[in-house]
Amino acid sequence: MGVLDGKRAIVTGAASGIGRATAVLLAREGAAVVVADLDEAGLGALVAAIAAEGGRAAGVRCDVTVEADCRRLVEAAVAGFGGLDLVVNSAGIIRRTSIVETTEDEWDRVMAVNVKAVFLLGRHAIPEMARGGGGAVVNIGSGWGLRGGPRAASYCASKGAVVNLTRAMAIDHGPQGIRVNCVCPGDTDTPLLRSEAGQLGEDMTAFLASSAQRPIRRIGTPEDTARAVLYLASDAASWVTGTTLVVDGGGLA
């Protein structure tokens, strides 16, 4: 018996990194998972991996910045699995530039993927969850949503917005039995983090080594964050909403 037996979930940004690890863990704990990403090959591999472990999953190609795609994603979950109980907003991008180095198009894209997507998916998912009696939303923020970081202006702004949007959603939808929380990871070994080394022109080995300089002397894994998401998605967190859970090996401390 898994702690999410009978639950129906959507996970965005699921083809790699934190999204992939989260989808795998939710499925292992009994949830039927609709996984969404632009990477169709990655989605196919993920669905096959979940099925090989005896789990249930379906892949949907989705641009989370497009409302019609978000609506179709929710419809696919309801049609395929009979309802919707959990949403994990894990899709995200980063641009390592200061505000004067950032183009308007880059700013708009980061804000669209990291913030607008949470709004768009919530706009269609929350009514379905309410019809089913409630559920849980977990937004993936960042430690840089709680403090600033160098040459990451648009990313810091977007993740700060996710943290406070989480609080607003929790207030609005708590009466419908919907809990909304945020997980803020520190540096985690994902393709997203590795792309930062290239953007900054830094040596990958040195960049990852610097990312591990925190009280718990290692870089984070996608599974570290996935376990935090599982807690917030489960009934163990039934009285937890509007909160931010930092998972960063003590980096912010």
| Token pair recorded at residue 3 | 């702690």
Q: Token match 């980063």: residue?
A: 94
pLDDT score, position 197: 86
- Identify the pLDDT of residue 103: 98
Tokens 């039927």 correspond to 32
CATH fold label, 8-247: Rossmann fold (3.40.50)
From the candidates 155, 190, 196, 211, give the one annotated as an active-site residue: 155
Instruction: Give strand pairing partners of 52.
Output: none
Q: For the chain, how far is it from start to end, CA to CA, in angstroms? A: 36
Each residue's pLDDT tens digit, 31-61: 999 999 999 999 999 999 999 999 999 999 9
Query: For residue 112, what is the DSSP state?
Result: I
CB 170 within 8 A of CB 211: no
Residue 138, sorted as left (phi over 0), alpha (psi -120 to 50) or beta, turns out to be: beta
pLDDT beneath 50, residues of the chain: none
pLDDT at position 193, please? 86
Domain ranges of the chain: 8-247
Q: How far apart are CA 19 and CA 44, in angstroms?
A: 14
pLDDT confidence of residue 186:
96
pLDDT of amino acid 55? 98
CA distance 22 to 182: 14
Residue 210, sorted as left (phi over 0), alpha (psi -120 to 50) or beta, turns out to be alpha
Q: What are 10's strand-pairing partners?
A: 34, 87
Sheet arrangement for strand 135-140: 56-61, 32-37, 8-12, 86-89, 135-140, 178-185, 244-247
Output phi, psi for 35, to 5 deg. -105, 135
pLDDT at site 207 = 87
Q: For this structure, is 231 an active site residue?
A: no
Q: pTM of the prediction?
A: 0.96
At residue 167, the pLDDT reads 98
**Tokens found for residue 228:** 């935090």
User: What is the DSSP secondary structure assignment for residue 174, as one 8-state letter?
Assistant: G
Q: How far apart are CA 127 and CA 223, in angstroms?
A: 30
Instruction: Supply 89's token pair.
Output: 């907003």
